[in-house]
A = this chain, B = another copy of it.
Amino acid sequence: MSNSTPANRSSTERNRLTPADWEQAALELIAEKGISALAVEPLARRLGITKGSFYWHFPGKHELLERALERWENQDRYHLKLALGADLAPAERLSQFVWRTSRQTLTHRIYTALCAAPNDSRVGPVLKRVTSRRIQQLGAAFEELGLDAHAARQRANLVYSSYVGYLQLQAQGLVPDRDEPEFDSYVQHVIETLVDV
């Protein structure tokens, strides 16, 4: 009774691992090499431990992926609230969305990795929920900006498509990263073309 939820301690303060450590490590591995590279033994080597630990915390590989995706979906919902839920003017919210989508790189790389396997029975539903949630938020902002429902949805699809596509080009190294000066110029171009209606 005297304890204060001794859960979620990361591996930095312990050398014993928690399920959350495994889930986060799985997400990072997915971000780097894709879902198909998610394997127990390589993940254990990455953590400097053996799989004996893993099979104590999880029933199997399947459950790890499910819980990791669940974890990521929550993280994304949190980020979305920051980017589009702020009580700003709609135009300002959209600009913020475009700008913010170039920050949390880990979440984005996970997203692109998940986009690569939309037919997987586990990532499919999660991916669909996350994407439609984002697009819906975008559409709502465009509606507040004065567009009718149909035009707002089409514009939201277009903005979101260009965002996803930019992630792809970024992964190919064909487009300026957010460090380079050209990046700001491009984002400004996107906002002028797609957001300012």
Contacts and interface: CB of A to CB of B under 8 A. Distances in A.
Interface string A171-197: 111110000000001100110011000
B131 A34 contact: no
A145 to B, nearest CB: 14
A127 B161 CA distance: 19
A172 B117 contact: no
Interface string A2-15: 00000000000000
Interface of A is mostly: helix
Contacts of A160: 165, 169
Contact of A165 (B117, B119, B128, B161): B161
Interface residues of A, number: 42
Which 10 pairs, one residue from A and one from B, show the smallest C-beta to C-beta distance? A116-B116, A161-B165, A164-B165, A165-B165, A36-B36, A162-B162, A161-B162, A118-B171, A161-B166, A154-B189
A176 B175 CA distance: 28
A106 interface: no
Interface of A: 33-34, 36-37, 112-113, 115-119, 124, 127-128, 131-132, 135, 151, 154-155, 157-158, 160-166, 168-169, 171-175, 185-186, 189-190, 193-194
